[in-house]
Each structure stands twice: as C-alpha cells, then as structure tokens.
Amino acid sequence: MEANRLNQKGKALGRGMLLAGTAALLLAAGCRQDMQDQPKMIPQRGSEMFADHRGARPQVLNTVARGQLHEDSYFYTGVVQDTNGYRKEQNLMPFPVTMEVLKRGQERFNVYCTPCHSRVGNGLGEIVERGYKPAANFHDQVRLAQPVSHYFYVMTHGYGAMPDYSAQLTPVDRWAVAAYIRALQLSQAATTQDVPSGVQVKNLQDVAAEDGLPASYAQPWTLPSTAIQAYPHDAKQGTPAMAPANPADPKISIPASKPAPAAAK
Ligand code: HEC
C-alpha cells in the first residue's frame, strides 16, 4: 500500500520535470533566429518578393535554358524545315544504327507496340483481336514508302486512334524502335538475293513441317474467328490503316462481323 503511493508520487514528479524540460526547450528554440529564417525561396511556396507572389520563377519569355533547345533539332522532332516553310520528314537516322540499337529497338517495340501491331508488325495484335481499331500494317506499300522519321513522329505525337508514346519512350528509344521497324520490314520481304550465295534457303512450309508446327503456320496471319470487331470494315467509316492499299500488298483477311443473335422470343 505504502509502496504504491510512493510510486505514484514519483510518477507525478517525473511528469512535472518532463513538462518543465519541454517548456525550456521550446523557449530556447524560440530564441533561434540564425539559420531558421533565411531570406530564401522554398520550391512551390509563395513569396512576397515578386508581384505574382510565386516563389518559382517562370522562364523569361523568348529565352531557352542552356541545353534545352530541342525544338530545332532533327533528333528531337524527326522533322526538318523545308524550303517551302513546312516541316518535312526524312528517311535518315540521326545516329548510326548498330546491332545494339536494333536490339534495344526490338525490346522496346515488343513491350510497347506489339499489343496492337503484333510481333511481326502486321497490325493484328492481341488488342486488335479484342476490338481495337486495326493498327497499321508495317508491310503494306504505304508504310514501306514512309520515311523512317515518320515512325518517330507517330510515336511522338500519336496518329488517329493510336496514342502517343512520348512519355514511355525517350527520343533515343523512339529512334531505336523506328530503326527496328525497318529491320522488321526487311525480315518480312527478304528474297533469296539477300542471303549469301550458296546458302540453302528453306521454304516456310517445309520449316513448319520439320518443326511439327501446324500447316497454318506458313499461311498469312489472319484474325481468328473469335476476334471481336468494334470496327467493321465499312467504307463509310473509312479504310482501316492496315487495309492493303495496293494489290501487291500482303493480304490480311478480316472475318466478317458475327451476325447479331436473333432476338429471344
Ligand atoms: C493501343 C494500340 C496501339 C499501340 C500500342 C501502338 N499503335 Fe501504332 N497504330 C495503332 C492504330 C489503331 C493505328 C492506325 C491509326 C488510325 O488509322 O487511326 C496505328 C498506326 C501506326 C502507324 C502508321 C501511321 C500512318 O502514317 O499510317 C505507325 C508508324 C505506328 N502506328 C507505329 C507504332 C509504334 C512504333 C508503336 C510502339 C511504340 C505503336 N504504333 C503502338 C495502334 C497502336
């Protein structure tokens, strides 16, 4: 009993001392004027110094910070100023294409472009199978004729139903992807002249048979009949970007939309 009371007294005393200590500390802190109140700007905080009360200062009009002049360079825009005053795309890479650049391009392409354009770039990716507008086929005459910086420009600004990829891909990666698209185009249009003489070229049907793959492996890639089509190939809606523009273009067949189920009676 007695011990308990003593214990409580001790606790109360301790609390009192703690309070006094804190008060003393606070008082001491209140006297500090040195580093605490510096005349400095704190990011994202207001300031009484300027008329607009903003601590962060906007860039002075018509000036460019050192190292930030991106507008006028082909590397950042993919276009050059033409003599007629319009911007012009070029069939030119701003840096040499090495195997390393192509590998990086392939890796980025497979991450960001294949969901719609597919790994071979025919525009029939998984998302298109599920109803997205057919993406461009990189092997048709229109796309083959486009200069390489067009691909860079499309990734930078988007194109029709395609969103832009400027946030996901840095300029150097966009160029790497553009270079890889050229490699893809070559891979799908290679001829026997492209292989060193004396090398035996196998036919795709034979390769499929040897590897035990289904015969359809060597056939043109088509959308499966299970594909959903939110975008029927209807002349009134315009021609999908991947539709063959030339009779010589690789044919891609799009199954007709499934008929609407008959209304339940
Ligand atoms: C979400 C789906 C989607 C993704 C992902 C996508 N695209 Fe596309 N892309 C499209 C569609 C759809 C079109 C056709 C646009 C139209 O006609 O409205 C297109 C068109 C294009 C074209 C043709 C433009 C023209 O002039 O006809 C290029 C080049 C292209 N895409 C490149 C790319 C590259 C490179 C990537 C990866 C960085 C990519 N796309 C990722 C959907 C996509």
3-state secondary structure 105-157: HHHHHHHHCHHHHCCCCCCCCHHHHECCCCCCCCCCHHHHHCCHHHHHHHHHH
What's the Rg (C-alpha) of the chain?
33
Find out whether the beta carbon of 127 lies less than 6 Å from any atom of ligand 1. yes
Question: Measuring CA to CA, how many Å separate 207 from each of 212, 216, 217?
Answer: 9, 12, 9
Strand partners, 88: 80
At 34 the pLDDT is 72
Query: Which among 214, 212, 191 is positioned nearest to 201, based on CA atoms?
Result: 191
**What is the set of domains in the chain, with CATH numbers?**
83-189 (1.10.760.10)
How far is 48 from 42, CA to CA, in rounded Å?
A: 12
At 60 the pLDDT is 86
Q: How far is the CA of 148 from the centre of ligand 1 (A)?
A: 14
Q: How far is the CA of 193 from the centre of ligand 1 (A)?
A: 31
Query: Which among 2, 36, 19, 239 is positioned nearest to 133, based on CA atoms?
Result: 239
At 54 the pLDDT is 87
Region of 69 on the Ramachandran plot (φ > 0 left; ψ -120 to 50 alpha; else beta): beta
How far is 112 from 121, CA to CA, in rounded Å?
A: 12
Query: Which among 73, 89, 96, 92 is positioned nearest to 171, based on CA atoms?
Result: 73
Find out whether the beta carbon of 115 lies less than 6 Å from any atom of ligand 1. yes
Strand-pair category, 79-81 with 87-89: antiparallel
Q: How far is the CA of 18 from the centre of ligand 1 (A)?
A: 68
Confidence (pTM): 0.69
Sequence-distant (6+) residues with CB within 8 A of 77 are 70, 71, 87, 153, 156
At 146 the pLDDT is 96
Three-state SS across 237-250?
HCCCCCCCCCCCCC
Find out whether the beta carbon of 178 lies less than 6 Å from any atom of ligand 1. no
On the 0-12 / 13-18 / 19+ scale of CB atoms within 10 A, 123 is buried
If one residue of 104, 108, 116, 141 were mutated to test the ligand 1 pocket, choosing by the most ligand atoms within 8 A of its CB, it would be 116
If you search the block for the tokens 């990011």, which residue do you land on?
43
Find out whether the beta carbon of 160 lies less than 6 Å from any atom of ligand 1. yes
Using alpha carbons only, give the angle 51, 55, 56 rounded to the nearest 5 degrees: 110
How far is 94 from 174, CA to CA, in rounded Å?
A: 11
Which amino acid is it at 84? Answer: N
Q: How far is the CA of 242 from the centre of ligand 1 (A)?
A: 10
Closest-lying ligand 1 atom to the alpha carbon of residue 160: 18
At 108 the pLDDT is 98
At 232 the pLDDT is 55
Q: Which residues of the chain have pLDDT under 70?
A: 1-33, 71-72, 230-265
Biggest CA pair distance of the chain: 108
Closest-lying ligand 1 atom to the alpha carbon of residue 181: 35
